[in-house]
């Protein structure tokens, strides 16, 4: 499995010497053709009791486990990229179990397979993650223990530490309740 780091600059157009001087080549282009929520689970779990007199923190930490997968159709320059995210707030204050899987179908034009694959691994997860954050927020808005807010994270750095198809864990910076 490949890591998510860029190792060299990527050209989106063929070199000039391979293009006839009278023709113009359109620059590379990517499209999000379809977005789908594959799974959205929100359930309340038994609350862990704290010490007497414990006060809820002003800022809450949320643990994230993220798995990214890609299904590539090299012949058509199409791919389905999925993010499976498990969100675990502090069970003492927000005893929830939240899991969201979202997929995006992307297509490329006038790019090489290598460029398209790099786009899918580097650019697509940050495109999909705001949809995950919005779903988590919407699902927990009416929860008994308050809304869960997932702060923005650097997915490129987070996923670069693992291989695709395996879970990656992170804790977000504390967020306001």
Q: Which residue has better confidence, 86 or 9?
A: 86
How wide is the angle at C-alpha 85 spanned by C-alphas 38 and 108, nearest 5°?
A: 65
Q: What are the angstrom distances between the C-alpha of 105 and each of 77, 99, 156, 159, 160?
A: 11, 20, 19, 19, 22
- Mean confidence (pLDDT) of the chain: 81
Is a pLDDT exceeding 80 seen at residue 176? no
Domains with residue ranges and CATH for the chain = 27-46+58-162 (3.10.420.10)
Q: How does pLDDT run across 65-123, given as a tens digit for each residue? A: 999 999 999 899 999 999 999 999 999 899 999 999 999 999 999 999 999 999 999 99
pLDDT attached to residue 161: 72
Is a pLDDT exceeding 90 seen at residue 15? no
Residue 8 phi, psi (nearest 5)? -160, 160
Is a pLDDT exceeding 60 seen at residue 42? yes
pLDDT attached to residue 53: 77
Task: Label residue 122 left, alpha or beta by phi (over 0 means left) and psi (-120 to 50 means alpha).
Answer: alpha
Q: What are the angstrom distances between the C-alpha of 127 and each of 2, 47, 50, 168?
A: 20, 34, 38, 18
């Amino acid at each position: 499995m490949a890591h998510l780091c860029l190792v060299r600059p990527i050209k989106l157009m063929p070199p000039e010497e391979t293009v006839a001087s009278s023709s113009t080549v359109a620059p590379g282009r990517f499209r999000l053709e379809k977005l789908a929520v594959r799974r959205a689970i929100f359930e309340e779990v038994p609350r862990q009791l704290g010490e007497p007199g414990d006060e809820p923190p002003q800022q809450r930490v949320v643990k994230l486990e993220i798995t990214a997968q890609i299904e590539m159709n090299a012949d058509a320059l199409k791919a389905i990229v999925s993010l499976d995210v498990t969100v675990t707030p502090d069970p003492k204050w927000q005893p929830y179990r939240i899991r969201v899987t979202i997929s995006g179908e992307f297509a490329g034009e006038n790019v090489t397979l290598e460029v398209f694959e790099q786009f899918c691994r580097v650019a697509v997860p940050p495109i999909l993650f705001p949809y995950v954050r919005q779903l988590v927020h919407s699902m927990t808005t009416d929860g008994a223990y308050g809304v869960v807010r997932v702060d923005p994270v650097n997915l490129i750095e987070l996923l670069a530490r693992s291989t695709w198809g395996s879970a990656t864990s992170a804790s977000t910076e504390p967020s306001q309740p």
